[in-house]
Amino acid sequence: MDVKPIVKWAGGKSWLVPALRPLIPKKMRTYVEPFAGGAAVFFALASETPRPFKRAILVDQNEELVACYRAIKGEVPALLKKLGEFVYDKEQFYEVRAWKTSKMSDVDRGARLIYLNKTCFNGLWRVNSKGEFNVPFGRMQNPKIKDEPNLMRASKALAHCDIRHGDFASALQGLGPEDFVYFDPPYAPVSKTANFTSYASGGFSADDQQRLVDAMVKLRGDGVGAVLSNADTTETQALYARFKHETVLARRSINSNTKRRGPTGELVVQNVLAPEKKKSKKKAVARAART
């Protein structure tokens, strides 16, 4: 069963799956993604035969996205019916974009999110300070708004999944050594001039980045395996220096500033201690001379 992510998401990790897969166990009780987004790694694992986890937990702070996953899991026929009402049309796009969703059903919210994601400029989800989706209509050739086969497969994949709206910490209660966590938080800044201590992107502050380091340490203490990916910067290298980590080169696909689309590094961190650095030959010789 080959399931693709339902939405194109900023920071989507389909491209990183080959580098991450060897770090994720072949067999788990619970697989947890506390920053689900497009859940590329979850869908890649759910596509494997046999499925490597008994159950999964997906958490995200984006309410629209969580409503969408709930609708795909529990009400896929109604969702498909609703998606069938949408066409690739500028007027309909702005009408649907203006919907106030807070009192809507999961099906209406989910169909709206998929429709806007498939037809908006650059296929990304961005909201203004009031939390309203504000990406303009995109110019594309016949976008596939209703991908029925993939939505049916996604519904099956999500059948084994607990989907929750909330902070990442809520995904981490009661986990044990048979469980595994993949963290993919909003990126720490990549610009050399960015001030890390005051940086907040998508509401994810430097304090939140530190909470995440603490969560990695706590999981290690509880015997729970975890992997985390983040932008490879001097600051993230320092935050995760104690853990085993490697840099994987990427070409970020969602970035409205085309000048920043060059190759960028992703820091992939495991919550196991970094091997001790070998002492340099010079120091060893100096030590030997002293003794």
Ligand X SMILES: C[S@@+](CC[C@H](N)C(=O)[O-])C[C@H]1O[C@@H](n2cnc3c(N)ncnc32)[C@H](O)[C@@H]1O
- How many chain residues bind ligand X (CB under 6 A)? 23
Question: What are the two backbone dihedrals, phi and then psi, of residue 181, each rounded to the nearest 5 degrees?
Answer: -125, 135
CB of 285 to ligand X, least distance (A): 46
88 vs 126 by CB, closer to ligand X: 126
Q: Is 38 in the site for ligand X (CB under 6 A)?
A: yes
Under the criterion CB under 6 A, does residue 243 sit at the interface with ligand X?
A: no
Residue 62 or 119 with smaller CB distance to ligand X = 62
Residue 52 or 88: the one with the smaller Cβ distance to ligand X is 52
Region from 19-27, 38-46, 108-116, 144-152 binding ligand X, contact rule CB under 6 A: 38-46
Interface mask toward ligand X for 44-83; x: CB under 6 A = ---------------xxxx---------------------
- In the complex, the smallest distance separating the C-beta of residue 278 from ligand X, rounded to whole angstroms, is 34
Q: Which CB, 78 or 169, lies closer to ligand X? A: 169
Q: How far apart are CA 27 and CA 53, in angstroms?
A: 6
6-14, 148-156, 239-247, 248-256 -> range binding ligand X (CB under 6 A): 6-14
Considering only residues 162 to 191 of the shown chain, the ones binding ligand X according to CB under 6 A are 167-168, 184-186
DSSP code string of the chain: -----SS--TT--GGGHHHHGGGS-SSEEEEEESS-TT-HHHHHHHTSSS-SEEEEEEEES-HHHHHHHHHHHH-HHHHHHHHTT--S-HHHHHHHHT---TTS-HHHHHHHHHHHHHHBGGG---B-TTS-B-PPBP--SS--S--HHHHHHHHHHHTTEEEEES-GGGG-TT--TT-EEEE-PSPPP-STTS-GGG-EETTEEHHHHHHHHHHHHHHHHTT-EEEEEEE--HHHHHHTTTEEEEEEEEE----SSGGG-SEEEEEEEEEEEPPPPPPPHHHHHHHHHH-
Cβ-based nearer residue to ligand X, 15 or 88: 15
Minimum distance, C-beta of residue 245 to ligand X, in the bound complex (Å): 18
- Residue with Cβ nearer ligand X (173 or 291): 173
Q: In the complex, what is the shortest distance from the CB of residue 53 to ligand X, in angstroms, rounded to a whole number?
A: 16
| The one segment of 76-84, 101-109, 197-205, 274-282 that binds ligand X by CB under 6 A | 197-205
Min dist CB 91 to ligand X, Å, is 29
Q: Does residue 30 bind ligand X (CB under 6 A)?
A: no
Between helix 148-158 and helix 63-74 the angle, nearest 10°, is 90
Residue with tokens 């919550």: 271
Q: Which residues contact 23 (CB under 8 A, 6 or more apart)?
A: 227, 268, 270
Closer residue to ligand X in complex, CB, 25/131: 131
Residues at the interface with ligand X (CB under 6 A): 9, 11-13, 34-35, 37-40, 59-62, 167-168, 184-186, 202-204, 208
